Amino acid sequence: MNKSIFFFALCVIFFGCETSQERRDRFFNLGNTALNQENYDQAIQYYDQALKEDPQYASALNNRGVAKIESDHPYEAILDYNQAIQIEKDHLDARFNRAYAYEEIGQFKNALKDVQHILTLTPDSAFVYFYEGLVQTNMREYEDALLSFQIADSLNPLNPETIINMATIYHFLEQNEKATELVSQALSLEGDDANAFSLLSMIEVEKENYQSALAEINRALDLAPGEPYFLNNRGYIYLQMDSLNLAITDINRSIVLYPKNGWAYRNKGIYLMEKGEISQSIEMFNRAIKSGEFIDELYYYLGKAYRQQGNMSSACKAWSDGAKLNEKPSLQMLNQYCD
């Protein structure tokens, strides 16, 4: 047997002389396996190979986008989602994933557009209405968010997660009695729920019942000991109690566990401001802004730090930005100190 015949025999035995589509599918499946194993770089390489075989393969573009966003490359992920949607306008996974990526980089209006397009295709999806509510919450459009959560609740009644998010909106709208009522309802359905206890702790903070707030956040942490947002919330409660050493321990641990936690940078800024380290506190507040997260009273604290620094023009600019985001303390400071 000459070499060419021998090679042909191997081709038949081992690969069956794969077609381009078969190679595409094989690389796509390998990519999915790597993605599920959280081996994102390897997954991207396999999806690259699949796309060499078929550049119009929308599912490979979408999944490569997932691998990229999990690798902390949201802008590159959006490019992949854009291509997938250009190929298949109503590719639901790509639309939804692009909305998530837009949220990651703080482009909430674009995220909302994608979610609302998905709703035209799946108008009875409780989950999509729920996600719409989350995006609207980040945009501080609380009334719209509440309506979205209420629709989600009507489509899928008695879902504790939806009820807790409705309670959170009522808390932001300063209707804490209604918020507490909904939290009680969620707890009656779910039993112990860490998010419910965390929200109760924030309601108690607003009432300045710091010992009660501490008890509630500790209940949350008993259920989820390493949850960075709960640790950060406890740090904030300690700040209100002037227990600065306990506060910074929790806040720093929160940042180590989740370095993207903008709330923790805000709280570290408050801590540094209390310690008189104003320049460093301003740096922390600006870092929190760059996170793109919804963070309450962030511009209020930034303005306070600038005022302590003697920089009233920057303070007024910060409070003006906060007032545009419906931060009541920022509006009060703006009216009190700025023309």
Residues 288-297: pLDDT tens digits? 999 878 898 9
> Residue 191 has what DSSP assignment?
S
In terms of phi and psi (left: phi > 0; alpha: psi -120 to 50; beta: otherwise), the region of 200 is: alpha
pLDDT digits (tens, 9 = 90+) for 247-270: 999 999 999 999 989 999 999 999
With a cut of 50, say whether residue 52 has pLDDT above it: yes
Enclosing domain of residue 185 = 102-191
With a cut of 60, say whether residue 3 has pLDDT above it: no
Residues 6+ apart with CB under 8 A from 271: 235, 239, 244, 247, 248, 251, 281
pLDDT band at 7, cuts 50/70/90? very low
The pair of three-digit structure tokens given for residue 149, joined into one six-digit string: 């959560």
Residues 60 and 120 in one domain: no
pLDDT digits (tens, 9 = 90+) for 149-206: 999 999 999 999 999 999 999 999 999 999 999 999 999 998 899 999 999 999 999 9
Domain stop point among 136, 163, 191: 191
Domain stop point among 165, 191, 217: 191
Helices (H) and strands (E) in the chain, counts: 20, 0
Asked, for residue 39, whether it belongs to a domain, the answer is yes
With a cut of 60, say whether residue 1 has pLDDT above it: no
Run of H or E residues at 334? helix 328-337
CA distances from 165 to 91, 132, 136, 148, 269 (A): 28, 12, 12, 10, 27
- Is 145:158 a contact under the CB 8 Å cutoff? no
pLDDT digits (tens, 9 = 90+) for 111-128: 999 999 999 999 999 999
Q: What is the pLDDT of residue 216?
A: 98
pLDDT band at 106, cuts 50/70/90? confident
Asked, for residue 13, whether it belongs to a domain, the answer is no
Q: What CATH number should be reported for the domain holding residue 55?
A: 1.25.40.10
The closest alpha carbon to 231, from 248, 254, 211, 210, belongs to: 254
Q: What is the pLDDT of residue 140?
A: 87
Domain stop point among 191, 219, 250: 191
In terms of phi and psi (left: phi > 0; alpha: psi -120 to 50; beta: otherwise), the region of 297 is: left
Length of the chain: 339
Q: Mean pLDDT, to the nearest integer, of 277-289?
A: 97
The closest alpha carbon to 257, from 235, 280, 282, 283, belongs to: 235
Asked, for residue 216, whether it belongs to a domain, the answer is no
Q: What is the pLDDT of residue 294?
A: 82
Q: What is the pLDDT of residue 10?
A: 43
DSSP string, 203-242: HHHHTT-HHHHHHHHHHHHHHSTT-HHHHHHHHHHHHHTT
Residues 81 and 116 in one domain: no
**Residue given tokens 């180590």 in the structure block:** 256
Mean pLDDT of the chain: 93
The pair of three-digit structure tokens given for residue 183, joined into one six-digit string: 């939290």
The closest alpha carbon to 51, from 76, 74, 28, belongs to: 28
Residues 106 and 153 in one domain: yes
The pair of three-digit structure tokens given for residue 74, joined into one six-digit string: 């949201």
> Is the full-model pTM beyond 0.75?
yes
Residues 122 and 186 in one domain: yes
Q: What is the pLDDT of residue 33?
A: 97
With a cut of 50, say whether residue 9 has pLDDT above it: no
Q: What is the pLDDT of residue 12?
A: 44
The closest alpha carbon to 172, from 202, 152, 150, 147, belongs to: 202
Q: What is the pLDDT of residue 16?
A: 53
Residues 81 and 121 in one domain: no
With a cut of 50, say whether residue 87 has pLDDT above it: yes
